[in-house]
Amino acid sequence: MYANIIIDISHEKVDKTFQYRIPEKLEGQIRAGTQVEIPFGAGNRLRRGYVVGLTDRAEFDTARIKSISGVVPGSVTAESRLIRLAWWMKERYGSTMNQALKTVLPVKQKVRQKQVRSVCRLMTAQETREAAEEAGRRHHRARERLLLALSDAPRLPYEVVTNQMHLSPASLKLMAEKGLIALESETVFRGPHMDGGLRSEERLRLNEEQQKIVTDFTDRYDRGIRETSLIYGVTGSGKTEVYMEIISHVLKNNRQVIVLIPEIALTYQTVMRFFRRFGDQVSIINSRMSAGERYDQFDRAKRGDVRIIIGPRSALFTPFSDLGLIIIDEEHENAYKSEISPRYHARETAQYLAEMTGASVVLGSATPSLEAYSRALEGRYRLFCLSRRARADSRMASVQVIDLREELKEGNKSIFSRKLQQAMAGRLEAGQQTMLFINRRGYAGFVSCRSCGEAIRCPHCDVSLTLHFGQKLVCHYCGYETGMPSLCPSCGSPYIAGFGTGTQKIEELTKKMFPSARVLRMDMDTTSKKGSHEEILTTFADGQADILIGTQMIVKGHDFPNVTLVGILAADLSLYTPDFRCGERTFQLLTQAAGRAGRDHLAGEVMIQTYQPEHYSIRCAAAQDYPSFYRQEMIYRELLCYPPVCQMMAVLASCGSEDTLNEAMDDLARWTGQAPGCETVQTIGPAQAPIYKVNDIYRKILYLKDENYDILIKLKNCLEDSSRQALWHGHVMVQYDFA
Ligand code: ADP
Ligand code: ZN
Ligand code: ZN
């Protein structure tokens, strides 16, 4: 047996491995992640390295391969665990070891870290609060926000203030010059951790349901039980308070905590709650940080300066020495599944990591994934429930479903039903806020011909072009742009026009209907700039707009106390996507969107406009009835044998030549039928991918299903082996993706 070993685990160097022989006496002791001593270089000086993989094939002349000298005793470092995790990810999701290592190991910077920078208050909490009020009176919103935050937590990391709270370095400098704040940087740490700004008597008293979860968790944790729990709690039921209580218990046991939050919900309000409670023991990472900034955070975690890390899925790879708990908030979110190889899911990866480190996992959601909820019902997860809103003065919003077919029958051709129009007018009069939600960006913002019915399509992709500002046609898949033609490219008719209801269109119509209303729009176009996402949300939260129009993005995370009306314009759009999860996605989106209304003492109203009022995803979302949705959706999954009833692997092949692609797909399907030990596998396809052509590349999909995940893995390895011998190898890209 031979081992591949890396000596330098900095990001760029992980593909530089050296092969060594495993001497007989060490066999069985060595696996991925083991730290070993090896003779290195011409002088054979002993060096330490990490094993990243085992093989029985020697890569070069066996006579010249040196042997491993020994295993470094008692050296299970954070790195060796991460390397072991990478090995698992490679096996489970099908990637190369390199890709997996690059995913889990932090990027080491050549230039050493700058310093830990922070923003501190100079005055007492009371004085800081007064300064915030003063800033508010002068409409210095950003300044007000920061001072308010500092009145709760006397010190905030510089990155949080700039990334999450959206203050520019220039305005921070100005505030420092005025003596409102101090900017500090230090390389030496401050010693004992500052406790959060809140004393325990100021903390919220947990309600009975919340307390029950905390007691149960801490009790079992103290008895050494490590497991996965799912908290199914309606929107606003106080899940975050529960997380914080549990975290505080785990910290008391001197262990560390990873909290995953979908990036889009990682708002400064959420972040501030953690800072108020845990002070500078908390650190945040987000994808907008530079590799160096992220490395610094990981480094601080490794040294023990930070004990809670909050971030998107990549925060899982924080090298804590003694991880005790992983929390995954909004567990059902798409963002927890990686889109690039290794296409790992954070939920499963967290569970494997927790097993390795002896940690517990807590999942939370108002709309749990079918995977998580079914496991909880089977008893594989502990299931907890928060059935009511936590704030005594906050009730669930009242929800109405409006049938758009009826509207049309009555002669209303507008995209706004009459009820929604009235409600919006009422909110404007009352000085309350409205959110309008549309399922997808520019979904139907295409241009088509009224004579021949053809939509104008991208010449490189299999999608229609989207109209922007009435003059430019854009492809959202490849970026192709062209002017709006005056004649139909298919039949030459002059009667072509933009149709449908993209976010821009809704903005335009809203402004026409309510000329005096202040309208904000949030979608991919308005948020492409760094920080613009936060800026729009804070502008709205600060009450500087009456109506916020947006896509999925506006649904998550934010608490807007003054929003009392949520209009969902085309609730069924997401039911038409070619994905077996579309019913689940629709239910999640509608439920989360409805949860935005009436978060405070003002009563909330939600209007769901749809052409399919009888669909169970829509009916159950309107009734805010997850269990009932779960039952009906599971029947569908069982009938068609989709996950979580079955395991599913998609084989996606793409190629510039259609003929070669067809040949490859036929081969893959045939090999599947012949693979030994894989007779139980069901095949669907091959079929064209939902979007057949993107950027002049054709794409086809083969779906493979089996009850047993291991059989799918075996089949994948088999297909990979056969592909290597094929004539088309190197011309067709084949990707494997587990649903
Ligand atoms: P979730 O994470 O489930 O959406 P949050 O933890 O954000 O819910 O709580 C929603 C609101 O209820 C917050 O404003 C929070 O401060 C408040 N809240 C939570 N728990 C309690 C409690 N026990 N008593 C009073 N208010 C609470
Ligand atoms: Zn035409
Ligand atoms: Zn295109």
Res. 186 pLDDT band, cuts 50 70 90? low
CA of 702 to the centre of ligand 1 (A): 45
Confidence of residue 482 (pLDDT cuts 50, 70, 90): confident
Average pLDDT over residues 617-643: 92
Are the C-beta atoms of residues 683 and 663 closer than 8 Å to each other?
no
* CA of residue 239 to ligand 1 center, whole Å: 7
Distance 454 CA to ligand 2 centre (A): 6
What's the pLDDT score for residue 346?
96
Give pLDDT tens digits for 631-645. Answer: 999 999 998 888 999
Task: Determine the average pLDDT of the residues in 482-508.
Answer: 79
Ligand 1 atom with minimal separation from the 270 CA: 7
Find the 226 Cα to ligand 1 centroid distance in Å: 26
Task: Label residue 440 by pLDDT band (50, 70, 90).
Answer: low
Q: For residue 477, give the ligand nearest its CA.
A: 3
Q: Which ligand is nearest to the CA of 494?
A: 2
Q: How far is the CA of 204 from the centre of ligand 1 (A)?
A: 9
- Comparing 12 with 310, which gets the higher pLDDT? 310
Q: Could you tell me which residue, 233 or 73, shows the higher pLDDT?
A: 233
pLDDT band at 531 (very low <50, low <70, confident <90, very high): low
Ligand index nearest the alpha carbon of residue 457? 3
How much is the average pLDDT of 199-222?
88
As a whole number of angstroms, the distance between CA 501 and CA 415 comes to: 8
The tens digit of pLDDT for each residue in 540-571 reads 888 889 999 987 777 765 678 888 999 998 77
pLDDT the model gives residue 194: 44
Distance 597 CA to ligand 3 centre (A): 37
Could you give the percent of the chain with pLDDT greater than 70?
Answer: 90
Helix (H) or strand (E) holding 705: strand 697-706
For the CA of 233, the nearest atom of ligand 1? 3
Distance 472 CA to ligand 3 centre (A): 14
The protein residue whose alpha carbon is closest to atom 20 in ligand 1 is 238
**Whose CA is closest to 235, among 492, 597, 551?**
597
pLDDT in tens, 571-615: 776 676 667 888 898 899 889 888 877 666 677 899 999 888 889
- Sequence-distant (≥ 6) Cβ neighbours of residue 284 within 8 angstroms: 157, 159, 160, 163, 164, 266, 271, 297, 309, 310, 311
Is 241's C-beta closer than 6 angstroms to any atom of ligand 1?
A: yes
Nearest C-alpha to atom 11 of ligand 1 is from which residue? 236
Check residues 434 and 154 and name the one with the higher pLDDT: 434
Q: Which ligand is nearest to the CA of 276?
A: 1
DSSP characters over 515-538: TTS-EEEESTTTT-STTHHHHHHH
List of residues 6+ apart from 274 with CB closer than 8 A: 244, 259, 282, 308, 310
235 lines ligand 1 (CB under 6 A): yes
Query: So what's the pLDDT on residue 627?
Result: 95
This prediction's pTM: 0.83
Tell which atom from ligand 1 comes closest to the C-alpha of 392: 25
Ligand having the closest approach to the CA of 488: 2
Q: What's the confidence (pLDDT) of residue 601?
A: 67
pLDDT in tens, 2-39: 998 888 776 666 677 889 999 988 888 888 888 899 99
Q: Which pLDDT score, from 0 to 100, does residue 192 have?
A: 35
- Residue with the two structure tokens 């999450």: 164
What integer is the mean pLDDT of 175-194?
63
Identity (one letter) of the amino acid at 240? T
Cβ of 198 less than 6 Å from ligand 1: no
List of residues 6+ apart from 530 with CB closer than 8 A? 288
Residue 114 has pLDDT above 60, yes or no: no
Determine the pLDDT at residue 119.
86
Banded pLDDT at 530 (limits 50, 70, 90) = low
Residue 108 reports pLDDT greater than 80 = no
- Quick check: CB of 233 below 6 Å from ligand 1? yes
Taking the centre of ligand 2 as the mean of its atom positions, its distance from the CA of residue 458, in whole angstroms, is 16
Query: By C-alpha distance, which of 639, 702, 643 is closest to 675?
Result: 702
pLDDT score, position 577? 64
pLDDT of residue 115: 60
Mean pLDDT of 529-547: 80
- Does residue 460 register a pLDDT over 90? no
For ligand 1, pick from 210, 235, 240 the residue to mutate: most ligand atoms within 8 Å of CB. 240
267 close to ligand 1 (CB < 6 Angstrom):
no
What is the CA 587 to chain-centroid distance, rounded?
Answer: 18
In the predicted model, is pLDDT for residue 289 greater than 80? Answer: no
Ligand lying nearest the CA atom of residue 389: 1
**What is the mean pLDDT of the segment spanning 192-211?**
68
- Report which protein residue has its CA nearest ligand 1's atom 5: 238
d(CA 164, CA 284): 10
Residue 603 Cα to ligand 1 midpoint, Å, equals: 17
pLDDT tops 90 at residue 320: yes
Task: Tell me the CA–centroid distance for residue 383 and ligand 1, in Å.
Answer: 20
Q: Is any ligand 1 atom within 6 A of the Cβ of residue 390?
A: yes
Cα(506) to ligand 2 centroid in Å equals 26
Q: Is the CB of 391 under 6 A from ligand 1?
A: yes
Please report the pLDDT score of residue 193 as a whole number.
41
Q: How far is the CA of 457 from the centre of ligand 2 (A)?
A: 12
Q: Which of 438-447, 477-486, 615-624 has the lowest mean pLDDT?
A: 438-447
Q: How far is the CA of 678 from the centre of ligand 1 (A)?
A: 49
The arithmetic mean of pLDDT across residues 91-107, rounded, is 85
210 pocket-lining for ligand 1 (C-beta < 6 Å): yes
- Residues 371-389 pLDDT 10s: 999 999 999 999 999 998 8
pLDDT (mean) for 45-71: 86
pLDDT classification of 522: cutoffs 50, 70, 90:
confident
Query: Helix (H, G, I), strand (E, B), or coil: what is residue 575?
Result: helix
Best CA proximity match to 355, nearest among 226, 255, 259:
226
- Among all bound ligands, the one having the nearest atom to the CA of 480 is 3
Atom of ligand 1 nearest to the CA of 595: 4
Look up residue 685 and give its two tokens.
Answer: 């396809």
With beta carbons less than 8 A apart as the criterion, state whether 613 and 700 touch.
no
- 482-512 core/surface letters (b: 16 or more CB in 10 A; e: else): eebeeebebeeeeebebbbbbbbbbbeebee
Q: Is 206 in the pocket of ligand 1 (CB under 6 A)?
A: yes
- pLDDT, average across residues 688-695: 84
- Check residue 195 and give its pLDDT: 45
pLDDT at position 29 is 86
Average pLDDT value for the chain:
85
Tell me what pLDDT residue 112 has.
52
Cis ω for the linkage preceding 192 (within 30 of 0)? no
Mean pLDDT of 42-70: 85
DSSP state of 184: E
Given this model, what pLDDT does residue 442 score?
41
pLDDT recorded at residue 594: 82
Find where tokens 């799912």 sit.
230
Rounded CA-CA distance 296/112 in Å is 9
Answer with the residue of higher pLDDT: 327 or 539. Answer: 327
Ligand 1 pocket check for 526: Cβ under 6 Å:
no
H or E segment and range at residue 716: helix 709-725
Task: Give the range among 115-119, 328-332, 430-434 with minimum mean pLDDT.
Answer: 115-119
pLDDT of residue 558: 66
Range 691-713 average pLDDT:
91
| Percent of the chain topping pLDDT 90 | 40
Ligand 1 centroid to residue 390 C-alpha, Å: 5
The predicted pLDDT at position 191 comes to 34
236 CB less than 6 Å from ligand 1?
yes
Closest ligand 1 atom to Cα of 366 = 3
Q: Which listed ligand is nearest to 243 at the C-alpha?
A: 1
CB of 238 closer than 6 A to ligand 1?
yes
Phi, psi of 452 (to 5 degrees): -105, -10
Tell me what pLDDT residue 354 has.
97
Ligand 1 neighbourhood includes 237 CB (under 6 angstroms) = yes
- pLDDT of 675 above 80: yes
